[in-house]
């Protein structure tokens, strides 16, 4: 990936349309289970949220037909996906690939904001606290999901690596040499 102009892949609109009518409850349950695992493994993430650890965050992947509500609840998080608009203390919006790149420390949040790839609305301090807390946690979504998947761990990791290689979307924490 060139250092001066990273490309933020956009989720294919055809696939987004296919996902549009699917029920979101399984996704919400999976996201909450995943976030509870993160809370156990990275308690410092919630500590870093400080006074914002009971805020409601709206994470809006602008190329998908739903938004994700994140409620840290002081370390017992709840995460769910809903269609349409949602109310929250802070909204962080951008292509799914930008949000995943931020989580994995592949992209710099300020740089994405300066370039208008990322939009922040509402409580800027809450958004900043979440950005900084996630950046410090050094999360790896592929690794965490694989660890939750028992015998499917290795095939899943291979699948994630394949998708990452083909799409350019950071599904795992990159080697530092590839960061920009």
Partner 1 sequence: MVMEIVCPAGTPAALRAAVRAGAHTIYCGFADETNARNFPGLNFDRTEMREGVAFAHGHGSKVLVAINTYPRAGSEHIWHSAVSDAASAGADAVILADPGLLDYAARHHPQLRRHLSVQAAAANADVINFYAQSFGVKRVVLPRVLSVAEIVAINAQTEVETEVFVFGGLCVMAEGRCSLSSYATGRSPNMNGVCSPASHVEYHESNGTLDARLGGYAIHRVGKDEPAPYPTLCKGCFSAGEKSGHLFEDPVSLNAEQLIPQLQKAGVTALKIEGRQRSRSYVAQVVRNFRAAVDALDAGLPMPQGMLARLSEGQAVTTGAYKKTWR
Residues that bind partner 1 (CB under 8 A): 2-6, 48-52, 102, 105-111, 113-116, 119-121, 123-133, 135-138, 176, 179-180
Residue 24 CB, nearest distance to partner 1 (Å)? 26
Residue 28 CB, nearest distance to partner 1 (Å)? 25
Q: How far apart are CA 11 and CA 109, in angstroms?
A: 20
Distant-in-sequence contacts of 137-140, Cβ < 8 A, 24+ apart: 137/38, 137/42, 137/44, 137/45, 138/105, 138/173, 139/38, 139/42, 139/103, 139/104, 139/173, 140/104, 140/172, 140/173
Count the neighbouring beta carbons within 10 Å of the beta carbon of residue 94.
25
Residue 20 CB, nearest distance to partner 1 (Å)? 24
Residue 46 CB, nearest distance to partner 1 (Å)? 11
Of the two residues 30 and 135, which places its CB atom closer to partner 1 in the complex? Answer: 135
Of the two residues 125 and 141, which places its CB atom closer to partner 1 in the complex? Answer: 125
Of the two residues 23 and 51, which places its CB atom closer to partner 1 in the complex? Answer: 51
């Amino acid at each position: 990936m060139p250092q001066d102009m990273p490309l933020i892949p956009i989720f294919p609109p055809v696939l987004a349309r296919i996902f549009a009518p699917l029920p979101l409850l399984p996704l919400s349950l999976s996201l909450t289970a995943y976030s509870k695992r993160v809370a156990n493994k990275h308690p410092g993430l919630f500590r870093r949220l400080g006074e914002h650890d009971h805020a409601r965050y709206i994470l809006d992947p602008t190329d998908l037909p739903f938004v994700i509500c994140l409620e840290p609840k002081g370390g017992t998080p709840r995460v769910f996906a809903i269609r349409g608009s949602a109310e929250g203390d802070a909204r962080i919006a951008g292509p799914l690939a930008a949000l995943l790149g931020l989580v994995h420390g592949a992209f710099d949040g300020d740089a994405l904001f300066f370039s208008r790839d990322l939009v922040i609305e509402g409580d800027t301090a809450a958004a900043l606290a979440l950005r900084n807390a996630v950046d410090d946690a050094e999360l790896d979504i592929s690794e965490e999901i694989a660890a939750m998947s028992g015998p499917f761990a290795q095939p899943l990791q291979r699948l994630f690596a394949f998708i990452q290689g083909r799409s350019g979307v950071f599904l795992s924490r990159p080697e530092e040499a590839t960061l920009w």
